[in-house]
Amino acid sequence: MLPQERLITRVVALCRADERFDAVLRYGSFAQGSGDEHSDVEFWLFSEVEIDAEAWCARIAPITHHVRNEFGADVVFFEGLVRGEFHFAHDVAVVAEWPARGASVDAMVVVDRRGALRAALERVPLRPVLPEAGELCGRFVNWLVLAHHVQARGEVLRAADAMAHVRRHLLWMGRLAEGSIEHWLTPSRLAEAELSPDLLARLDVTSPAAAWRVGRELWLALGCPVPVGLFTELDAALS
């Protein structure tokens, strides 16, 4: 048994014994059946009362650090650098805002004392609704033009930040072109196993000019309408 699986078993037991939780769900790799030794331990825990997140997580197993991340989740590190991500919330209605659940309802539900969690999860699609190809291409070029301008201004770090968004959109365009949409919400996940070697090699770009060459090819391959004036200007600026 993996360390993560032992931790998950402990979390499940604690949650089911703790009457303060109206509902608890697990998500991520282990709920999807693809967890491995590098995967996180991930849960949403719903209670109408305030929970001391750090103290509660320390009951699972010894922790080496606790931090509240930028998305409001409580992240703890267990021995062996195992990362645990716990969202403590009041209302299961937040589940309705998810673009997809990624796993079966049965695999996700841990505690559901009122039946509200299962009902909420069943209304969330298993897979996300994909954007239109033209919309995706437009988002790519939005980040590309920003990266081009801030690099030309000499803002090297800001350009690198924009290029991270450019590469993410190139991954989405590549996944759409190859029909590999299993991990759409996190397009870099298992990309090395799911995308062709040729596409992976072409996606390894660090400059706006290189990104435009690849993005231009993918734009045409996806059959999106071509804004001729924009293409002409980008070809001239990023040749």
Whether 3-122 and 133-237 share one fold: the answer is no
Segments making up each domain of the chain, as ranges: 3-122, 133-237
Residue 74: strand pairing partners:
68, 86
Q: CA-CA distance, 143 to 148, in Å (whole number)?
A: 9
Give one DSSP letter per residue of 88-114, joined into a string: EES-GGGGGG-S---S-HHHHEEEESS
Per CATH, domain 133-237 is 2.40.110.10: no
DSSP letter at 180 equals -
What pLDDT was estimated at residue 194? 97
Q: Are the CB atoms for 70 and 116 separated by under 8 Å? A: no
pLDDT-derived band of residue 234, with 50, 70 and 90 as boundaries? very high
96-149 pLDDT, tens digit each: 999 999 999 999 999 999 999 999 999 999 999 999 999 999 999 999 999 999
Query: What is the edge-to-edge ordering of all strands in the sheet holding 82-89?
Result: 63-68, 74-78, 82-89, 41-47, 21-26, 109-112
Q: CA-CA distance, 14 to 42, in Å (whole number)?
A: 14
Per CATH, domain 3-122 is 2.130.10.10: no
Instruction: Write down the pTM of the prediction.
Output: 0.90
User: Averaged over 45-69, what is the pLDDT?
Assistant: 97
What pLDDT was estimated at residue 239? 85
197-215 pLDDT, tens digit each: 999 999 999 999 999 999 9
What pLDDT was estimated at residue 151? 97
